[in-house]
Chain A
Amino acid sequence: MALAPTSAYVHVPFCRHRCGYCNFTVSVSADSQAEMYLLALQQELNCIDDIYPVDTLFFGGGTPTHLTVAQLEQLFQTVYERFPPRADAEITIEANPEDIDPNVCNVLKEWGVNRVSLGVQSFSPNKLRQLERYHTAATVDRAVKNLRGFCDNLSLDLIFGAPQETVPEWQRDVESALLRDPQHLSTYGLTYERGTTFWGRRLRGDLPTNDESMERQMFETSIDMLQLRGWNHYEVSNFSQPGFLCRHNQVYWRGEEYFAVGPGAARYVNTQRETNHRSTSTYIKRILSGVSAVQESERLSESERLRERIVLRLRMMEGIPIAKFESQFDCQLATVLGSTLEEFQRRGWWEICDGHLRLTREGLMISDALWPYVLAPQT
């Protein structure tokens, strides 16, 4: 049997309010639910058969920092019992700039959190309003200052392609982010998802949207700007200063396994992918009445696992180290990919370079259109 995972994800489904573009598993205004949630989480953790020390631990959401200080303590306490972090573990928490005060920082520090991912999104007042975010650049600065007290691995999230945003505006946002001297940046093109208010507004036509070329220009601009300054563009949306790649997320992208708890949390354990029920109240109800919270689960075939892994790894800019990959998974890329391997090379969508198969810039830009050919083999 394969080794047990050494990574865990904890989903904390609470936010101050729901942002117009967000379709994550979050509850707003249900503060009383937090206590029940913690109880359920405890219960879910108790059901895991053993104690698993972890190398990476990720508290995501939602906004975990929306919990009170006492609740945060309880959260760490509960989780660490089941997933005790090893000495050099990476412990990340997602935070909303509005929540970061010295008290919160004390708790984070005390519990060994050593990486904070801050939901900045933008520094422009206009764009923040568009995105329905209520903090300002000053809020961010205060949060950064507080976090710096204990954390030397800070990541900022930025969004591009907000309604009416221009390329220069986006460049200014990237510059502004760099001025805060983070170790890591994630940049996400705004997408419209079912079940968000933005989706409805766009359907009604009262949300101006950017065209594809403009979005691409923004995406490319940020890649170029950051690379020029020596940043490592290591995954579609992620950039780091040398040595500060997010270890936890790389577990996902290498197709490795991980634990996960909380509403809507997805785990990959023992070749099985499972997702918990997305509704926080259903999650609580099920767990507390002793029923599993799993809503979907699938066990992948060997070949599905392989193909999925290829896609995920190609989304990392380093690409696939061919020889290593082939021996590790006992396969031949040329066989798995068939004529697609050459066809995509010929069309300039991917290339083989230094023993790695990796996407070209063009391939990256349209990569979603490539994956169907990788996941379903040529006939």
Chain B
Amino acid sequence: MTAMELKYIRNFCIIAHIDHGKSTLADRLLEFTGTVDKRQMKEQVLDDMELERARGITIKARSVAMKYTYKGQEYELNLIDTPGHVDFHYEVSRSFSCCEGALLLVDAFQGVEAQTVANAYAAMEHDLLIVPVINKIDLLHARPDEVLVEMEQSLAIDPADVVRASAKSGIGIEELLSAVIERIPPPTGDVDAPLQAMIFDSHYDSFRGAITYVRMMTGQVRLGQKIRMLRSNKTYEVVELGQFVPQRKPCTVLHAGQVGYLICNIKSLDEVHIGETVGDIREGVSTPLPGYQQPKRMVYCGLYPSDGQDFDELRDALNKLSINDPSFEFQPESSEALGFGFRCGFLGLLHMEIVQQRLEQESDIDLVQTAPNVTYEVLTRSGETIDIHRPQEVPDAGDIEEFRQPIVKVNLVLPTEYIGAAMKLCQDRRGSLTKTEYLSPTRAMLSYHLPLAEVIYDLHDKLKSVTRGFGTMDYEVIGYEPADLVRLDMLVNGNKVDALAIICDRRDADRRGRAVVKKLKAEIERHMFEIAVQAAIGSRVIARETVPAMRKNVTAKCYGGDITRKRKLWAKQREGKKRMKSIGQVDIPQKAFMAVLETGETK
């Protein structure tokens, strides 16, 4: 292998706002290069996870090696399809380290949206060469000329560079491939230098153990070679290596510039680290790469095994999943109401939902989830700063010097006619406008500083509804600011239920308190006795509802044929509720733990 041959490799990813057609474009590229034959082709062939297909979105980045002959020369093109949703941005940023270029897709009808801007900037910061593409030009309402202006205004893209394509009808694919080869620089990296490869992803296979995805930086790796993980300092033998086409295709050597996978018989889950460097077996020969920065977890919630399930099973499931998704974190915690479980941090609500569903599907686990919350900061009277991952951890009011909340910068991209509605939305949530920018005569970008807690739960949905689906948003944390926050406790028959506490702005406390107790009242079934549901700040009760005692619950007929069935039914009711230890204890249904998200806003 020589530097000469590196010339014939191109590594690139496809980035865009959600749904602009990345995975569909990948289909066309795979098809056009003959990587996947027509017979095996299906829509968004790379979205092969059950959840991806069910939801029609990409969740995991996927890499594929393609062979393509251009002007009589065969090239190796390594493509990475990335997810568009903001919650999976960590997947995108990790793939940047494997690439020299990026195809930036913009939907010919939707135009530039918030994630277009965010992903484009991120790619530029990684020094990737950007090939701008207007996709979906086949659409009846496509407005490519206006979109071109938006791209120019917001991202300083030269209109002459833009490729017009349709991933659906296959327009512009050949032109795109030549742009990839002509414009994106080949990888650099000394094939003869010591081995240095970056693990950018991995997944767990119950037969083969961990399968690590690598971008070869320098040197080469061969079948049977011994390697060293530079961070954990553990050594392994390479038992299989290869590339994804898109399924695993073994080969005998990978060299600098290539993207592929290694299987090293790693069975212990805690030995795999995404961001780890694979190096020469001899100590001190290879230098470790900087690795990835941990992503910032935006929301936390408690995950508990539901009735009849095991804490250890849940821990195994979390460990397994974290090999494939390094972006969530988890730590054991316990709750009086729910027993032993984990406090988990996620990049956003969709991410939280996906992790929960993957746990349930991939490990067959049934979960109880507590309401999500963001991380707060408290400066105590004694001068200590503590992170508050869950409301129970808030110290007594008397010990708090300053209560701080995370603030995000939110960029909203929307048609100008909805500016008024969007501004009202942000002002109601105590946002401050920092910038208004026109991307074109009909499109604008508003920047706001807003409390993360006001953004994360439903701002996106609300924005969609006030802009008829045309508004999009993107956000990043910029820091913590002091605020007038309080912990709102929920009491059920006078007992504080730890997993139901919330943190909110003092000005919202009454409204939230009323809304939450009302919701709890609706969720808690009638018991044999009356149940008081209260919201309180400290010892001051600010809202109360009563779940009346059941009035009538009596089987009318219990004749010869009914006895067995009834006895079993009654006996089971007691067994099922392992947490209902004694008479007088209130059974809080699993759904009720989400009641605290109730805001009391008029819908």
Contacts and interface: CB of A to CB of B under 8 A. Distances in A.
B582 A378 contact: yes
B558 A252 contact: yes
A266 B564 contact: yes
Interface stretch (B101-109, B366-374, B547-555): B547-555
Interface stretch (A103-111, A146-154, A364-372): A364-372
Interface in A283-320: 296, 298, 308, 311-312, 315
B590 to A, nearest CB: 19
A249 interface: yes
Contact of A369 (B528, B559, B563, B567): B528
A343 B556 CA distance: 25
Given A236-B556, A366-B554, A369-B528, A343 B583 contact: yes
Contacts of A343: 583
Contact of B556 (A60, A212, A237, A311): A237
Interface string B559-577: 1110110010011011100
B551 A368 contact: no
Nearest to B576: A372
A42 interface: no
Given A266-B561, A315-B558, A219 B552 contact: yes
A372 B570 contact: yes
Interface in A316-370: 340, 343-344, 347, 349, 364-370
A120 interface: no
A343 B570 CA distance: 19
A216 B564 contact: no
A260 interface: yes
A373 B571 CA distance: 8
Contacts of A367: 553-555
A268 interface: yes
Which secondary structure characterizes the binding site on chain B? Answer: loop
A268 B557 CA distance: 17
A375 B566 CA distance: 11
Interface string B528-550: 11000000000000000000011
Contacts of B574: 372-373, 375-376
A191 B528 contact: no
Contact of A265 (B549, B561, B571): B561
B551 A365 contact: yes
A96 interface: no
A368 B527 CA distance: 11
B553 A365 contact: yes
B552 A260 contact: no
Contact of B571 (A11, A376, A378): A376
Interface residues of B, number: 28
Contacts of B527: 369
Contacts of B581: 379
Scoring B529, B551, B558, B560 by chain A CB atoms within 10 A of each residue's CB, the highest score goes to B560
Given A212-B550, A266-B564, A370-B528, A189 B556 contact: yes
Nearest to B529: A347
Nearest to B581: A379
A9 interface: yes
Interface in A184-199: 188-189, 191
Nearest to A266: B561
Contacts of A236: 554-556, 558
A264 B552 contact: no
B571 A372 contact: yes
A188 B556 CA distance: 6
Contacts of A123: none
Given A188-B557, A375-B574, A376-B574, A369 B564 contact: no
Nearest to A304: B567
B553 A366 contact: yes
A344 B570 CA distance: 17
Contacts of A265: 560-561
Contact of B567 (A11, A189, A252, A308): A308
Nearest to A191: B556
Contact of A266 (B557, B560, B575): B560
A90 interface: no
Contacts of B552: 189, 212-213, 215-216, 219, 365-366
Given A212-B552, A366-B552, A378-B582, A258 B560 contact: yes
Contacts of A366: 528, 549-554
Interface in A266-290: 266-268, 273, 275
A275 B561 contact: yes
Contact of B563 (A60, A312, A349): A312
A188 B554 CA distance: 10
A253 B557 CA distance: 11
Interface in A138-190: 188-189
Contact of A340 (B550, B559, B583): B583
B112 to A, nearest CB: 46
A265 B561 CA distance: 6
A52 to B, nearest CB: 16
A51 to B, nearest CB: 21
Nearest to B558: A315
A369 B550 contact: yes
Contacts of A371: 570
Interface in B574-596: 574-575, 581-583
Q: Which 7 A-B pairs have the closest CB atoms?
A: A372-B574, A216-B552, A376-B574, A266-B561, A371-B570, A375-B571, A188-B556
8 contacts: A212-B551, A252-B563, A253-B558, A308-B567, A311-B567, A365-B553, A368-B553, A370-B528
Interface of A: 9, 11, 60, 188-189, 191, 212-213, 215-216, 219, 236-237, 249, 252-253, 258, 260, 264-268, 273, 275, 296, 298, 308, 311-312, 315, 340, 343-344, 347, 349, 364-373, 375-376, 378-379
Given A275-B564, A365-B554, 20 more contacts: A189-B556, A212-B550, A213-B552, A236-B556, A252-B560, A260-B560, A265-B560, A266-B563, A267-B560, A268-B560, A268-B563, A275-B561, A340-B583, A364-B554, A365-B551, A366-B553, A368-B554, A373-B583, A375-B574, A376-B574
